[in-house]
Amino acid sequence: MAEVAYGVATSHTPSIGAAIDNNREEEPYWAPLFEGYEAGRKWMADAEPDVIILAYNDHASAFDLDLIPTFALGVADEFPIADEGYGPRPVPAVEGHSVLAWHLAENLILDGFDMTICNNMPVDHGLTVPLSIMYGKPDKWPAKVIPLAVNVIQYPPPTGKRCWDLGQAIRRIVHDFDEDLSVAVFGTGGMSHQLQGERAGWVNTPFDKAFLDKLVDDPLSLTRISHVELLSDAGSEGIELVMWLIMRGALGENVREVHRHYHVPASNTAAGLMILESEEHTAFL
């Protein structure tokens, strides 16, 4: 029986990936951020999930304006690294878990979540930077990864409530998979940031800290934040935080907080990391 045991929420800022790729983690600018990742990497090495279901957003890499799926699930055995304009990041290709991915796709659709199913899906920094944050620079990613691309670039993204519900469905459906697998769900993006307009550089630390607190013990209140509140409080790109609710929904009601880290800035972004372990041993609902 498979189980969603772990949840990781993290920013996926491209410059964090560049700092890792170029061995700049110890430079004064980056050190305070990476010091907070150390405990996360140690935990990850012990937790050793078999599969990561990784909620992220594509940034004009696999998808363009001709095709904008709200939720797209990668069902292939391998996902190449996208060229986002700089050439592909020098990281290993991502190995998928096609059998579990198809189990998820079929059952999510039957459960009312109209997933888009993808084979050819180059993955960009949204997916690879969280892996680098948690694993550093391995020759091969230690876990198989099922990419779950969420549209947050074209307004409107799915609501926080919808993301939460999707996470809960993922928990139930993983539980029904007939193979012993330990599964982690990642929710990525955020925290507060705005890349565009005269308001570029927006950061809202009180909002972010309250979001981290509530993610642990009052996540339902986060599902009630409207898009206009997210745009205003977390910034136009901070709306990515809806993806963190997929992770939290997938962990069940009770969680144990393992680690949290918050640092401003990672280039233009307030960077957050939160690691949770599920304390539910059966699927709830």
Partner 1 sequence: MAKTQRDYDGIPGTYVFDGERHRMGYRLNMMCMSLNEPENREEFQTDEAAYCDRHGITPEQKRAVLDRDWLEMLRLGGNIYYIYKIAIIDGVSFQHVGGVMSGMTESEFRQMMLDGGRHDG
Binding residues for partner 1, per CB under 8 A? 15, 59-61, 64-66, 82-87, 153-156, 192-205, 227-228, 231-232, 236-237, 264-265, 267-268, 270
Q: How far is the CB of 166 from partner 1 (least distance, A)?
A: 22
Annotated catalytic residue 227: no
- Cα dihedral 67, 73, 78, 83, rounded to 10, equals 40
Mapped onto helix, strand or coil, the DSSP state of residue 263 is strand
Nearer to partner 1, 122 or 167 (CB): 122
Cβ atoms of 193 and 258 closer than 8 Å: no
Nearer to partner 1, 168 or 188 (CB): 188
Nearer to partner 1, 205 or 254 (CB): 205
Rounded to 10 deg, the angle between the 31-47 and 125-135 helix axes is 80
State how far the Cα of 63 lies from the Cα of 59, in Å rounded to an integer: 8
Out of 12, 97, 103, 125, the active site residue is 125
Out of 12, 97, 175, 193, the active site residue is 193
Q: Which residues have a Cβ under 8 Å from the Cβ of 234 and sit 6 or more positions away? A: 190, 191, 192, 193, 204, 207, 208, 211, 241
Q: Is 93 exposed, middle or buried (0-12, 13-18, 19+ CB in 10 A)?
A: middle
Chain position carrying tokens 């876990």: 143
Nearer to partner 1, 143 or 270 (CB): 270
Q: How far is the CB of 61 from partner 1 (least distance, A)?
A: 7
Q: How far is the CB of 204 from partner 1 (least distance, A)?
A: 8
Annotated catalytic residue 97: no
Q: How far is the CB of 68 from partner 1 (least distance, A)?
A: 9
Which residues participate in catalysis according to the annotation? 125, 193
